[in-house]
Amino acid sequence: MRFGITSEIGSIVPYGCPQAWAAALWAAGSTGVIYGSRFDPARAESVALFGPHGERKQRRKGREQAISPRLIEHLQRECGIEVIDIPTADQLEIIGD
């Protein structure tokens, strides 16, 4: 199912209008939409999933899984992406005014 709306739908405050769209799409059988992020100048795709609000208690939470050395090597060689470890708090420098 495809609908044509402007990016304004993701920036309307209060969220009554976007929530009404979500409720109508959910009622029509849609489980989500793909849209251009209003916060990314490159308009990367974002995903909004429809359903009951709140944390899902009936599903297991995700578990951390290490990226394989083979995939890291591929990302560096083929894509020019450098994968680094998550820094610890003492490795971060906060710069203020």
Q: Tens of pLDDT along 29-85?
A: 888 888 777 777 777 787 888 877 766 677 666 777 788 999 999 989 998 888 888
Q: Is the pLDDT of residue 27 over 70?
A: yes
User: How far is 73 from 69, CA to CA, in rounded Å?
Assistant: 6
Q: What is the pLDDT of residue 73?
A: 92
Going by pLDDT thresholds of 50, 70 and 90, the confidence category of residue 1 is: low
Both tokens assigned to 4: 């044509």
Residue 35 and residue 10 in contact, taking contact as beta carbons nearer than 8 Å: yes
Give the residue among 4, 47, 51 at the shortest CA–CA distance from 27: 51
Helix (H, G, I), strand (E, B) or coil at 67: coil
Burial readout 45-63 (b: 16 or more C-beta within 10 A, e: otherwise): eeeeebeeeeeeeeeeeee
Q: What is the pLDDT of residue 70?
A: 93
Whole-prediction pTM: 0.45
